Structure 1
């Protein structure tokens, strides 16, 4: 289906959306990116992306943009483990439903970026397949919002591709690595497991590659995405500590205990509207103590997905950037 397409990328001023928009423009497509950050919008323009400032919460403007393109990549979302439910619902659920409805009404293919956080409360940890039942309980409001968004998208646009990239990282990562770096520099990250925890992550260029494949060969429904190899979390954290010149975690505190304390802090903070994110959240703790790997069979067979960036290459890139800025 590719070849000189007109493509709308929502959330193009964000981490994944920005990489997707730039790579599609570099591949010769007519790309329009949306977002709220005018500064990043100007940078997109310089990369050959047409920038249109649009707010996810506003209904006006979206119909005209969707009606002018051949395909839509919906990468915009409130991607945080800590946010008010009203904000998560408005930006992750309602906005996704609006865009899916518009795409379906105009028969425009849709690639919707979701999250494997929907699996977190299922109890599945190894080679988790896309058909794993989830809900009604979720381990975070964010995971719940992404699950509800998937339901809304599939209800209005059954042919949409729903990508679930696990743990995005890479140059410009605003989440995983910066959080670890801040905790290490502050000396507040203890060792939460005596044994190693193996999980999977997704380099941002691998996720962008999956988007590109989904535009070329649409696959209806959810598709897991990752780097395809496990990563030892605590060994990686030690590598990050060395790269920034900070001491690695040495003091051991049982992860289950920290998770319980963090859960109480979460609940207390949510009772105070406008309260800042707690220093430690239960969702963040779970990422460090619970392994998870994804079944990539569907991505490989139906999308033809082979990750162009290995975990070793991706981590080396991140460590080099940290050492340069240390």
Structure 2
């Protein structure tokens, strides 16, 4: 199968492009980072630099392609709405329309962040109604992107992986490590908070199943095991040789302060991401587990990597 992977110079897209090529598929990868593109070519992946935001870019990539894995996205808790609309909603809609016109299979990567404002936290199913309120611009944009994709291409598969991590993770673990090393991370809850994470190879496994065994619909994806957030942070602190968070601050107070800080930063055009965001605080204080029944039954999905092993691998890399 000839598969196009978008966002292949990013964390998930790069891992997916390499794994699909190793599995014997013909893979064309696209992205904007030429250096990472050259690294993909060394792994046997054809790389075509492209910016999906530009008119006509998608049409030039699809000839001869059987399926698309759409990983490209603006994946951040900070930014302005115009950028999220352009990068997440419009680019996804354009790609879905182009796939529909050419009869190309599409697997679209979304996020369970769209559930965050629903008030549900335990075994959340894909059927959960979302919106019109979301807890971040990112979540809102991904929900709209899903809507646009499924409107243009009802047969698309939409994956919602929770908290992607693994070797090369540029976000979750590095951010926690930076906060621990700086000593600025307080303990925000008295009780443990359980969430679910997804090792990058588990996301790739789910994507490969969706590409090879077409199954239209929306699918939650995770490691399938609840992970205690604060026990994991303590273990990371031990690995780094820094103090565990001990100074207690009420989560609501910190979340409110973060919201005020965001407001200040938004008054400064071009300002970088603030050191603290309300959405980031909520990720550390609010539980979230997912119902994986649909992915198991329709895709045949079973996680390949357990979070204990996956986090041990990532932590060992930080300790070196």
- TM-score bucket of the superposed structures, by smaller chain: over 0.9
Report the CA distance between 1:319 and its aligned residue: 1.3
Structure 2 distance, partners of 1:60, 1:101, is 12
Give the corresponding residue for 2:163: 167
Structure 1 distance, partners of 2:299, 2:267, is 44
Q: Does 1:266 align with 2:262?
A: yes
Structure 1 distance, partners of 2:303, 2:61, is 31
Q: Does 1:253 align with 2:249?
A: yes
User: Could you tell me the TM-score, scaled by structure 2's length?
Assistant: 0.99
Give the corresponding residue for 1:104: 100
Give the corresponding residue for 2:38: 42
Give the corresponding residue for 1:70: 66
Give the corresponding residue for 1:151: 147
Structure 2 distance, partners of 1:67, 1:108, is 10
Q: Aligned pair count? A: 320
Structure 1 distance, partners of 2:137, 2:269, is 15
Give the corresponding residue for 1:230: 226
Give the corresponding residue for 1:279: 275
Which aligned pairs between 1:20-59 and structure 2 lie closer than 5 A? Answer: 20-59=16-55
User: Could you tell me the TM-score, scaled by structure 1's length?
Assistant: 0.97
Give the corresponding residue for 1:120: 116
Q: Does 1:297 align with 2:293?
A: yes
Report the CA distance between 1:17 and its aligned residue: 0.4
Report the aligned-residue RMSD.
Answer: 0.8
Query: What are the Cα deviations for residues 60-104 of structure 1, in whole angstroms up to 9, with x where unaligned?
Result: 231121122000000000111111211111000000000000001
Give the corresponding residue for 1:314: 310
SS of 1:9 mapped into structure 2: strand
Q: More displaced, 91-100 or 313-322?
A: 313-322
1:134 to 120, 130, 137: 130
- After superposing on structure 2, the runs of 4+ consecutive aligned residues of structure 1 that deviate more than 3 Å are none
Structure 2 distance, partners of 1:221, 1:301, is 12
Q: Name stretches of at least 5 consecutive residues in structure 2 with no aligned partner.
A: none
Q: Name stretches of at least 5 consecutive residues in structure 1 with no aligned partner.
A: none
